[in-house]
Amino acid sequence: MSQSNAGRTVGFIGLGVMGEPMCRNLAARSGQAVLAHDLSPEPMQRLAAHGARPCSDAAELVKASDVVMMCLPSGRAVEALLAQLLPQVRAGQVFVDLSTSGVEVARASERLLGGQGARFIDAPIARTRQAAEDGTLSIMVGGDAACLAQVQPLLACMATDITHCGPVGAGQIAKILNNMVLFETGLALAEAHVIAQRAGFDARRIFEVLAKGSGDSFALRSHGMKAILPGEFPLRAFSVEYARKDLSYALAMADELGVPVRGARAVDASFERALEAGEGKKYWPVISRVIDADTGPQSERNAA
């Protein structure tokens, strides 16, 4: 930890699927006092065993913190929280939004906090829950380079890749496009899985071959092989609901810029079908199950 960060108090708000392990790593590795807040008491209690002090009042957390990190489910949640906490914001504080909250929310947050003399960077995260557990996330940052330099040692407790993408909002753009590409690749893998099975091939072998060729990807190894192949779509993971929320930011950007993004709209349609099928709270690669159901039995297709 650099001298400029010595003795600072870091507040962490939002202890969900990703936030809890991130806060745990921050408390264990930063050498700083870490306060933790969530609407649910259970993750705060678990983190207490790792050195993070539970703080049931978000306003008290902000008052006591030099750096405030947020890992929330949506841009609306970020806006609501900052509006609630604004009276406690003071000059010199740094706010770090680790959520995928959208470009306009990031820019509005900077203006809002700047009016109180605080600084803001958007720093959305990428990679899996296991990466959050291991502290090997990728973080895409938008904001002032000097501000990033101040909090980079803290981010390094949670991530192995920290990329400065540009001014405030640039981190959100990078994350939104990252997820759009991931989801489109996931849709292709789901379709390949169903086609391979219907054609009588071992889908596992097909995926192994893809991993050795130009079809290889992070999505194939992390989502295809670990979720689509075994048919495991747990509830405490990146759900269809959250994935569709992230994709909606990409679709809104595309509409604004006049880009058709046909692949992204195909993913959105698959997400919609998964929601209609009652799969919305499951891990988003569950769209493979929906695609399989939509194709119908082999006998029906032969009869047609």
Q: Supply 290's token pair.
A: 């929906």
CB 264 within 8 A of CB 295: no
Q: Do the beta carbons of residue 241 and residue 281 sit within 8 Å? A: yes
The verdict on whether 63 is a catalytic residue reads no
- Find the helix packing angle between 170-198 and 203-211, rounded to 10°: 140
Question: For the chain, what is the largest distance between any 2 Cα atoms, rounded to a whole number of angstroms?
Answer: 73
Spatial distance between the Cα atoms of 247 and 185, rounded to a whole number of angstroms: 13
Residue labelled with tokens 């919305």: 280
Beta-strand runs (E) in 85-184: 94-97, 119-122, 125-126, 137-142, 159-166
CA dist., res. 147 & res. 150, Å (int): 5
H-helix or E-strand containing 208?
A: helix 203-211
- Residue 7 phi, psi dihedral angles, 5° rounding: 75, 15
C-alpha–C-alpha distance, residues 52 and 48, integer Å = 5
Q: Which residues are catalytic?
A: 175
